[in-house]
Structure 1
Amino acid sequence: MSIKATIIGAAAPETGSKLTPTRLGGLGTGGTEQAQPAPASTIRPTAFKPTAMAGAAPAVQPVAPAQPTPLKPTAVPFTAPAPAVAPAEHVKASALPGTQRKPLEVTYETLAQRFPGTAPKQLERAQAVLAGISPQAMNAPAWLGFGVQAQEGLAALVKQRLALMESPVTRGVAQHLSRLHTLLTEVLDAMDGGFLKRSVAKVWESVYVEVRQLEDLLSTAQPALLGVLADMEALSNKNTEVGEVLQANAMAAEYLIDLLDAQVGQLLVTRLTALSTSQALVLEQVQTLTLDKERVQELMTLVQDGVLLQLPSVYSQLAGLSAKPSDTQRFLAAEKLTEIVQFIQRKL
């Protein structure tokens, strides 16, 4: 078997040159032994060096891996186990000396039979009053104070009503109307004529400025009068509520008189009399408030219908009067003046 040599990377020999076969494994060209392949040469990788470029960041040098720091075991201090807690024993309430507070339990049906014809709402109020009473825990001073709180509320409402009627608004309006009535009456008297009386024009000229001022004051007082009316209406409702509370306390006292002993019953009779008197005062208070509201409403009518409606026509008639008015002028002016003067006089 003949072996041809392969030439790699070199130019081919010229024609006619003698080729010498390569000796492989010590074999000659005509040897009979089997050829052995030459040992392969070790291939080393080519190391590429990085090229430094202008403006580029410096190359990061390889960092050796950090070696873990050995941790020492933490010494935990020994804690003794907490002692076992024994379960709490059930403590029973000890009986203290005193009087047991047991409120009254009165049914609605019982009160309906005891007080027939009473409104259901009022029966419920009386039932609530009785539910808040513990007869065993009440002494003589406590029974004497039964229902006093409701009576004190009524006294406060009476003071509020008096304050409303004496307010500067109502008193001021009444005074302004009275003064206006006086000034217009002077002008009306001057129209009757007479030897010693001044002329109507001069009298009207002397009172005209004050009449205008009174008109402005009465006109601006209207909102305040409306506020007084609203306060009186609210006060009337409060009186009605206090009256219902007083009635409920009186019903409870009357029921307890038949239930408790004679000594307590005598105290309750005294309180029942006082509560009945307060109930009568409530009725009087409501009636007085009704009259007060009517009074304020009359003042409103005087301001609206008398001053703001009729007074402009008086200005119109008196402005045309001369020093010596004719009978027709005098009659028309006197008619307007008489109308407003009598209107104010009836309301005042």
Structure 2
Amino acid sequence: MGGVAAIGAVSATAALTGTASATAQGPSPATSGTVRSAAPAVAPSVAPAAPRSTYSGVKLRLGARGDAVRHLQRELNGHGASLAVDGVFGSRTLGAVKDLQSSARIAVDGVVGPHTWNALAGSSSSSSQPTLRAGDRGSAVRTLQSQLNDSGASLSVDGVFGSRTVHAVRALQSAAGISVDAVVGPKTWNAVYSDVRISGGSGSGASVSGQAIINQARSQIGVRYQWGGESPSTGFDCSGLVHYAYNQAGIDLPRKTAKGYVFGGKIISQSQAEPGDLVAFTGNDYGHMGIYVGNGKIIDASGSRQQVVERSIWSAPHVFVTYR
């Protein structure tokens, strides 16, 4: 099976600067012990909005009250909500928080902690970062590498956007569910500063979870079979689908035949196989393969069915192959 594959196929949150924290009730102007320039005292209900950093350490949930909740409500309104800024964390505020968490691809639990505060500040934080690509150098690349390491990568923080950094970026993009193109723009910066984790490190580029590979293959079910095909627009043959799914998931595999993929990887026993590994049928000189889903099933570009399908492994002799 021959051909050459297309690449392209994750949004989360950006950083929130500042470390000051407050209680959920917020500071009380009446009890402040700091002498300030002559400014009239104001009632808490009309106090000006506090800067973002003031509440970055506050955790809020349903039932909370106070200035921190008012600040939260203002921020949510800035993201499209329509809430009364009354300082009461009620059901409408809870719904707005969950909507924000869902759109930011963080845990939708209705609890406002660091990741949710980061999501509220996301647009301004990500837009301050430059777009980065392979070959770039400098302090922004060092910042990227450091944040990728916090997400589970294992990179030298050397300020050089080389192949290992490319692999780590692509793995993060796949895990975050955004376009896997190794270009670090606003969505990728948001993911970099979020709680998205890179599975298993990123040194080899084969660091994406097996589920990410399966998801990419599964998204092509029903696409027509085409010998040598390597993309949704041309159709797929069996090795073309493998190449497409792995690369879309952030694993940089060169285009090979089915036999080439067998002997380019590591042949393992069925008991060692995990979802995302390959199943290669040995007949016709290793002439066919699919992506292992688990539970005795594969996704493959089937010549007999003339499309990409998910089906049970049949009784023909076969081996399992991994690139983990």
Question: TM-score when scaled to structure 1?
Answer: 0.19
Larger radius of gyration: 1
Question: Quick check: which one's strand share is greater?
Answer: 2
Q: Which has the higher helix share?
A: 1
